[in-house]
Amino acid sequence: MRRREFITLAGTVASLWLPLLRVHADDRVVKIVVLGDSLTAGSGIPAGHRFTDQLEFALRAKGQLAAVFNAGRGGDTAARGLARLNRSVPDDTDAVILELGANDMLGGVDPSVTRTALAEILHDLDARRIAVLLCGVRTRTTFGDEYKNAFAAMFSGLASEHDVLFYPAFDEAFVDDAELNLLDGLHPNAAGIKALVTRILPNVEALIDRARRKDR
């Protein structure tokens, strides 16, 4: 075979294989870690019905290859989440759903302290090229309107500054419906988690897309 014909054949083979390689890369399972507090930990919820379980099932049903891991811990503040960040989010993580700050707000933590901790988490994840969906919460507090407004602005401000995806209120889907809450009126039951997953699913699909782009 002459050299010119060999080069042409090699180019043809490469052009056939490149799309296959691209499909193979997109078929890789995306590892998502949910770093949060009791809203994601699933205390009181049977195994298989917690947020991470229902979210992974919903993603798979839509053809998304994703594995969702539960790194929620009841009672955690943003600072506590930061302290365990590297243990809870290993380096092979592709994406993080970050849901922290509700306990800070309920406990009267200075919003600037919460903001600093969340910013450090976002900076660390960005340095490791891990895509992030930052979740806020419905601001409800007994510490006055100024405090409430500071928390509301904090989440959206962080999302904009760090260029991460944003879901404004993690508890919006269930907080106003007693049938979707546990008896404490704060945490979702299995039905409440289902309502949450339905609402947040497009945002998580966008997170997966961003994680795949970072991988290229």
- CA-wise closest residue to 100 among 151, 37, 42, 172: 37
The catalytic residue among 112, 145, 184, 215 is: 184
Give the C-alpha separation, 182 to 150, whole Å.
Answer: 28
The catalytic residue among 37, 38, 88, 171 is: 38
Which residues, including other chains, have CB under 8 Å from residue 31's CB and lie 6 or more apart? 66, 67, 69, 92, 93, 94, 95
Annotated catalytic residue 184: yes
Indicate the helix (H) or strand (E) that contains 134. Answer: strand 131-135
Annotated catalytic residue 162: no
Which residues, including other chains, have CB under 8 Å from residue 22's CB and lie 6 or more apart? none
Give the C-alpha separation, 157 to 140, whole Å.
Answer: 18
The catalytic residue among 37, 176, 187, 209 is: 187
What is the rounded radius of gyration, in angstroms, for the C-alpha atoms of the chain? 21
Annotated catalytic residue 160: no
Two tokens, residue 181 = 């809450």
Report, as residue numbers or ranges, the catalytic residues. 38, 184, 187
